Structure 1
């Protein structure tokens, strides 16, 4: 899978995103929150842009979380609309019981969404399912109990072999991969992260059982990248036909 594409604001073009989804079957794209936050969150037109999500917006107090909420949904609907050849207002964003977003009435495109701090990330695939997640690459996770909550015994052993100065970033990589997979299958944090793990970043990333043996087939591919030298972005992509999503560029698993 190719590296994530950077997208500008609403006025930017989507040709490269559309070409990747058409050719490779999937694409991850990211943007800055500030590029997608409307100048006036009280504008009447925003109700048409957000659809059912506008009711949620009206209940939210002014905050950076509210900005991200609006920006992320406008970004996702614009990206999906470009790929589908539809206007963003023609698409209705809905949610599965676990919170997983989907496009109501559309089964030819699956979507994933994540955001953190100033970054928005959207995943798109015309095969199977996709989940994406992002965190600040320098987020502190070690010695906060995260390892015990998020890692399998095999991963804990592997972490001990990572140089001390790189362990936090490695734990962020593992966490985002697990989030991405959990989102792809519609489980979110309800799926215990100690029940599955991932291999090292210097090889094709594979899902592993707690003891380190293979845990998923070739229908799943997993990827992590460092974007903007500041954020770790991970994606889990399911291709039930084992198609071209198994073809990855040489740097696709580097974070």
Structure 2
């Protein structure tokens, strides 16, 4: 787990500790590094023009050392489907909105010409790296995806497609809303309790019947450890999007008017 996230940060985001010569990975911030009047929004929304959004994507790609045309986006639908992507998907969604993307909430690839890109603004972005079989994955895990064990689905897909072993994986949990700020009601708490009966990820709120604090990150970590991913191979940026809304986008804190952060990963 990251204990000092500032040591891994750059002007555009924070990198997983395991980022090395074999893989490039990044969770972006909301600040534009060249213009304080603009945001580094990665989505075609929140008042950002399509041209500015594409320019933001190109800027981040350049600083990561990847081609902007290598980026692949999916149409995130709060499900648990995992898309296997390759050369045919290069540039999917870079210049367009959801209509041209595959409907899924996670991607995996072993193609060095592909950069997986997940968009979030409170939901949990999770990046996966298999240094042994040279494969990567990325997941968008909101409460529905977390309850549906989407990270399990990613590991299963990497195992099936690339021969990945859970014990070889390096995983990073990115900036997202955390139990300090993520209040849920019984509609969410009941399926969470059923899905994670052995994990303490739901805490009743004192003096507020029917209200709970939910740790999606704790649930995701529980799933990964149950699959056999080593505890010390699962790192967490520790950043709460709601607490740090001056640095990160938060859909809940900004009452639906937030831009989108990006979680990107590519084999080098």
| TM-score normalised by length of structure 2 | 0.40
| TM-score normalised by length of structure 1 | 0.42
| Larger relative contact order (CA 8 Å, sep ≥ 6) | 2
